[in-house]
Amino acid sequence: MKRLVLILLIFWCAPTSAQELVYTPKNPAFGGDTFNYQWLLSSAESQNSFEDPDASLQDLSEMEQFTQSLNSQLLGQVGRQLFTEEFGEAGLEEGKYSFGSLAIDIYPSNEGLVINILDTNTGEQTQIIVPQ
One-letter amino acid identity for 10? I
Distance between CA atoms of residues 130 and 132, nearest Å: 6
8 A C-beta contact, residue 132 and residue 113: yes
* Residues with Cβ within 8 Å of residue 126, at least 6 apart in sequence: 116, 117
Radius of gyration of the chain (CA): 35
Q: Per-domain residue ranges for the chain? A: 91-131
SS3 at position 96: strand
Give the bridge partners for 113, in sequence order: 108, 130
- Which tens digit of pLDDT belongs to each residue from 11-66? 766 666 778 888 888 888 888 888 888 888 888 888 988 877 666 656 778 888 88
Give pTM, 2 decimals: 0.41
